[in-house]
Amino acid sequence: MWYAASRSRDPKFAEKLEDIVPLYMSPPEHALVLCVDKKSKVQALDRTRLGLPIKKGRAAIMTHHYKRNATATLFAALHVLDGQVISQCQQRRRHTVWLKFLRQIDRQTPKDRALHLIADNYATHKHLVVQEWLARYPRFHMHFTPTSASWLNIVERFFRDIAVKRLRRGVLTSVTDLVAAIDEYIAHHNTNPKPFIWPKTARDIL
């Protein structure tokens, strides 16, 4: 199956799976379910030579050789029900940056809704300062995926899409170009988002 490529050895795998999958298949009322994560070290890749445009009898040609420029970290929160994405690009991935993104989520979501955030076990997500902030914002509820089970976080599919459809074949000479390309892609995505339908119950997966 699509989820079988990565088998987790997390001793609480079943418990975490049974916590997260129902959020996909039957989201709680008066709440939003958001899949959140970061895509680290997204590179601004420039080509070593100009590509050749499409012409009669020949497809467009682009060299596979590139040079690496600076990097950025993309933070994204994917709405499970409608596919909308909240995003932020930063140079680093410290707990202070993660906290800044949580504040953005707080600003950009209805205040009368509980927020269920699905995230991985990266230490930044559980930093003491972050935990103290979350304690002051009880509408935030964190749900952590098992170790080695990134497939359980739907936002990973969005990261794959933006990498394949926009970044992998881009010509990006700077971080400014990179961030602009990411923002443009996400803005376009949000004009006609499509939710991902989770296909299997926790019991089926187990």
Q: Would you state the structure tokens that stand for residue 76, as one six-digit string?
A: 């994204």
Crossing angle of the two packed helices 155-162 and 175-191, in degrees rounded to 10: 120
Question: Which residues are within 8 A (CB) of 73 and not within 5 positions of it... i.e. 6 or more apart?
Answer: 38, 39, 40, 41, 42, 89, 90, 91, 92, 93, 97
33 three-class SS: strand
Query: Which CATH architecture does the domain made up of 13-205 adopt?
Result: 2-Layer Sandwich (3.30)
Please count the residues of the chain. Answer: 206
Mean pLDDT over the full length of the chain: 84
pLDDT value at 7 more than 80: no
pLDDT at 177: 83
Both structure tokens of 148:
């080695």
pLDDT in tens, 58-67: 555 555 545 5
Mind listing the pLDDT tens digit for each residue in 67-92? 555 678 899 999 999 999 999 988 76
Domain ranges of the chain: 13-205
Strand partners, 38: 75
Q: What is the pLDDT of residue 2?
A: 46
Higher pLDDT, 28 or 71: 28
Helices (H) then strands (E): counts for the chain: 6, 5
Identify the residue with better confidence: 46 or 9.
9
Cβ(145)–Cβ(6) below 8 Å: no
Q: What six digits make up the tokens of 127?
A: 């930093």
Enumerate the β-bridge partners of residue 72: 42
Q: Which of 52-56, 91-95, 117-121 comes out lowest in average pLDDT?
A: 52-56
Q: Which residue has the tokens 């599919």?
A: 157
Cβ pair 190, 84 in contact under 8 A = yes
Read off the pTM. 0.82
Pairing status of strand 140-144 against strand 31-47: unpaired
Q: What digits encode the pLDDT tens for the residues 125-180?
A: 889 999 999 999 999 999 999 988 889 999 999 999 988 888 776 666 678 888 88
For residues 22-29, give the mean pLDDT: 93
**Would you state the structure tokens that stand for residue 154, as one six-digit string?**
């739907």
What's the rounded mean pLDDT across residues 185-205?
91
Which pLDDT value is given to residue 152? Answer: 93
Six-digit token string for 62: 């682009």
Q: What is the mean pLDDT of residues 29-50?
A: 77
